[in-house]
Homo-oligomer: A and B are copies of this chain.
Amino acid sequence: MAKQTPRTLSGFMELLPAPQQQMERIMETLRKTYALYGFTPLDTPIIESSEVLLAKGGGETEKQIYRFQKGDADLSLRFDLTVPLAKYVALHYNDLTFPFRRYQIGKVYRGERAQRGRFREFYQADIDVIGDGKLSILNEAEIPAIIYKTFSALGLKRFRIRVNNRKILNGFYAALGLTEKAGDIMRTVDKLEKIGAGKVQEILTGDLAVPPEDAKEIIEFISITGDTQAILTALETRRGRNETFDEGLEELNTVVQYLGDFGVPAENFAVDLTIARGLDYYTGTVYETVLLDHPEIGSVCSGGRYDNLAEYYAEKQLPGVGISIGLTRLFYVLGEQGMLNPELPTAPADVLILPMTEDLSAAIALATELRENGIRVQLHCEEKKFKQKIGYADKWKIPYVIFLGEDEIQAGVVACKDMQTGEQTKLDPKATIYRIKAGLDSQNKGFVIKE
């Protein structure tokens, strides 16, 4: 029979078992951390009606969408988790109670140009808090605490959560009479790190025709750096010129004040007046998170406060605040950087049992006993040479191998080899279980990411 060459589409991540185990560990960590902050898990369809999914219309994303007909239906694959959330909240509004806090970890689809490290199918891990009409600033202060906790739980230390407030930016540009140009200016200012202050000023006064004295003030403003307190102090000197600015400064002060109470260390947090995020969406605090030793990656967790989640579906005003981790890309980068802790177990089983007798009853009973004690067991009963079976444990990095022969069965003991140390014991099943569990506990210590 002619065979079809098996292949996986370019831009679609498909992991081997060991890295998949690391990915599972990361997802489990995210689920647990998000749950600690009172977020409930959601799962929405990957396919939506195109008219619903694209209600907002236009935008860069639309070209990338996987859209197709099935019968009479015009369908699209979701390209993020925010639009499905907006639909969900509008659709189930009467069944929900607000504030509504949900997390969702799911695959999204964007037909991007195929490129190394770019994915067309990728996981996003999102949290959002949605209010009904109003939403306390406390939620905006809590988000960096969640980012901090999440990244810490994954094992990262050298990261920084950068925070800004859109009201400060909008107010600042309004005070200069530059509201109409604010979008273009912010897009330019966003490139500060890449192109430098001189070039930014050039574009401002040239392409954007900003008066030189305003450009100077803009450069001064975005050059406000230093520790959080220094930046807040510098902002204070600008108070009183614009109401929105003052409001944003109040909010930023509140966010900073509560961060200490939330236990976020000063070194993991910075106010950064250059970040703006999605220009027509965010309206208050905005977030980016960078790995200090890998700034080239860009932000690995971003988001912010928005005023109207479901404006395309409902009359209700539903403000919210949320963040998103591009999990597939983050995982890819961590792998490339060698930051996935190789010491954590990735084996499919904790113990491989090699029965040395014709009758497998004793081996099966032992496997059952171990499993009842929470130990992951595989019975290896294939017709293979002893050496091949040991090789099997080696290749899968199964940490313990148990040999069960007639002698052991008679004596009521179990021969168990620690594959890392080579140490072999002959103990009764209970003592063997105790030893294995202690060993597994020590192997499972440590974080999934290693800096």
Contact = CB atoms under 8 A, between A and B. Distances in A.
A3 B312 contact: yes
A47 B120 CA distance: 10
A438 interface: no
A14 B263 contact: no
Interface of A: 1, 3-9, 12-17, 20-21, 23-24, 35-49, 51-52, 55, 66, 68-71, 73, 75, 86-88, 90-92, 95-97, 99, 101-102, 107, 109, 111, 121, 131, 134-136, 138-139, 142, 145, 149, 257-258, 261-263, 310-315, 347-349, 352, 360-361, 364-365, 368, 371, 374-383, 392, 395-396
18 contacts: A1-B312, A6-B310, A6-B314, A9-B48, A14-B43, A16-B92, A35-B348, A36-B374, A37-B371, A37-B377, A38-B348, A39-B348, A47-B66, A66-B75, A71-B111, A97-B395, A138-B381, A263-B368
A361 B258 contact: yes
A382 B90 CA distance: 21
Contact of A6 (B21, B90, B382): B90
Nearest to A66: B70
Contacts of A376: 35-38
B261 A6 contact: no
A102 B24 CA distance: 14
A36 B377 contact: yes
Given A38-B377, A349-B38, A377-B38, A46 B107 contact: yes
Contacts of A96: 16-17
Nearest to A86: B6
Contact of A87 (B8, B39, B42, B368): B8
Contacts of A347: 40
A41 B24 contact: yes
Nearest to A263: B368
Complex A-B, nearest 10 residue pairs according to Cβ-Cβ distance, in ascending order: A38-B378, A68-B68, A40-B348, A38-B349, A4-B55, A261-B364, A12-B45, A138-B381, A6-B91, A6-B90
A101 B135 CA distance: 48
Contacts of A135: 382
A14 B88 CA distance: 9
Nearest to A264: B368
Contacts of A51: 4
Nearest to A393: B97
A23 B107 CA distance: 18
Contacts of A109: 47
Contacts of A17: 40, 42, 96, 102
